[in-house]
Structure 1
């Protein structure tokens, strides 16, 4: 689910002077891939959620529901299952089924906004009831819990969530949308978010910020991956006389981790495609260029870029590309394509590029 295509072929130009031929046009596009197979919104409807949230003038339950409604509008429909439950009296407002924004919006609108008074909040029991339901789920799943963190009866909810984390391992992520306004409530909710290795904590009010909302949605629900797109087009080219064939193929964005140069399993599918294309155009020579971000000494980065280029060249040579077609060159940090002041820019600059020419 989390594998990425680390090579995108941004330009592929082949001019062939023949009676009938074909041209391969290649590019890339960003696609969304689900992080989970299913998720559940889990809403605290205990009496304290009827209290005012911060200085908004709205009850906490309204603030929490509004945050989920904003989130629901940006969750992409990627085929995962979803459900909507409440606690402490466990109730279902949207049964488990293929996620659609419209169906979930109807479920959120049906959650009661008028809450009972003088009722205890056995949050631990709520999670125990939830566990009894999601124990039947397959694959990876996330729970998005909306609460003010006030629990005053029954078992410690952190203990229950820890037990769930032990049982499900990395299949289970608990994320928190907090309406807490007390140090005790905030502390409990942050503790719950850390009980699963992938948990994310966010304030309900923060989800009114589009950037925060989009980041939370991506952290919980999906990844953005670059996908290779190649189109072969048959064409007829009329030429009065034979002309030399000019070919150029440029492979870009083979990215490495920080201070890393080894080939990973995730790179192999894309490298395999690269080797296949180079085998098809066997008359071309390849310049394998390694690059780094600007972190660290310049001399060290020069050596690191050379090691990255050599690791790619060695892989290609071991998988059908003649070694005498491969020229290895390290550029260090001297040729950045992206902004080295940002984390994403530095990641994209840790790359190997293959320039293929006669």
Structure 2
């Protein structure tokens, strides 16, 4: 499974030549990291989905599929697996495979919109059948369920989902795209989405808004992380030498709330950083500490300094000459992510290692 820790990565590309001087150039870019290893679109094709959806004038199944198609168009291809299923007669419209937007679009186009009129809606059985499939999946997975929330026979869907939560724990996220137009349907779907802590509920019509659509996609599928690329170009003496390209990766370190001490989880990355600095003895770095916006500005300034010092002290104690390390605390003044969100605050509680020269 992909690493889900929200660490920032600083990539430094060095052109190592026979040299007497250097110039440095830097640029940053945003990199998308998957939150999950696999996901399934799960579509309700029961009779009530043929009814008109609110003021749209379209059947619920059409409104739901259109919302899912809009979502599919913005889901980045990050190597996770995907599948497409429908209920109540459990059917596979796209078998589990590496996600491809075009392949999934074909699967979505094959789901019928002309639904049977006389048929029960055993939503609980639909989730029970889905459970048999995802039981074979490895790692963390998400289910994106499109429905009006109405069920009239068979097992209670909330009980089936509750059993799935007990079985899979935090590996399982249930998200809802709702075409519900009754209080009971909306209540059922909101309850289902709340049964997994990571679950997100959204109305199908709201996904016509690009901002809401992009946020839903990010909440379900990926995180954004920043890479800073620094290229150091050395002056060459004659005779010219063929450049040797080497890549150094300094991993930034994220701290828990109000924490500044080094944890066991940080040691492998710190060891890697110390080894890289040992390999390039002329490289100097700035160790910068940061916080989220919780607490007072004065307290956060001190906390950021303690975080930066703990990382610098560890490096110095493990072979890096202290004169190569500059330490600075930035407090809450340089957030890179939104402090209004839990994930943004987590990413802002960080120590960065930046190349100085």
Q: How does 1:1-358 map to 2 (within 5 A)?
A: 1=2, 2-6=4-8, 8=10, 17-18=19-20, 28-227=28-227, 229=229, 236-237=236-237, 255-264=254-263, 267-268=266-267, 270-282=269-281, 288-323=287-322, 326=325, 328-333=327-332, 335-336=333-334, 343=341, 350-353=349-352
Cα offsets for 1:181-222 (capped at 9, x unmatched): 111111111111122232111111111111111111122122
SS at match of 2:188: helix
Q: Which moved more, 1:252-261 or 1:109-118?
A: 252-261
Structure 2 Cα separation of the partners of residues 212 and 54 of structure 1: 20
Question: TM-score with structure 1 length normalisation?
Answer: 0.81
TM-fit CA distance, 1:277: 3.9
SS at match of 1:55: helix
Cα offsets for 1:298-319 (capped at 9, x unmatched): 4422331232122112221232
Question: TM-score with structure 2 length normalisation?
Answer: 0.82
User: Is contact 1:5–1:228 with CA below 8 Å preserved after alignment?
Assistant: no
TM-fit CA distance, 1:140: 2.2
Runs (5+) with no aligned partner, structure 1:
239-250
Structure 2 Cα separation of the partners of residues 130 and 252 of structure 1: 39
Structure 1 Cα separation of the partners of residues 85 and 76 of structure 2: 20
Structure ID, larger Rg: 1
1:248 corresponding residue in structure 2: none
SS at match of 2:169: helix
User: Is contact 1:6–1:267 with CA below 8 Å preserved after alignment?
Assistant: no
TM-fit CA distance, 1:328: 4.7
1:241 corresponding residue in structure 2: none
Structure 1 Cα separation of the partners of residues 356 and 159 of structure 2: 62
In the superposition, relative to structure 1, how do residues 228 and 328 fare at CA in structure 2: closer, same or farther (>3 Å)?
A: closer
In the superposition, relative to structure 1, how do residues 229 and 256 fare at CA in structure 2: closer, same or farther (>3 Å)?
A: same
In the superposition, relative to structure 1, how do residues 313 and 93 fare at CA in structure 2: closer, same or farther (>3 Å)?
A: same
Structure 2 Cα separation of the partners of residues 80 and 329 of structure 1: 39
Aligned length: 344
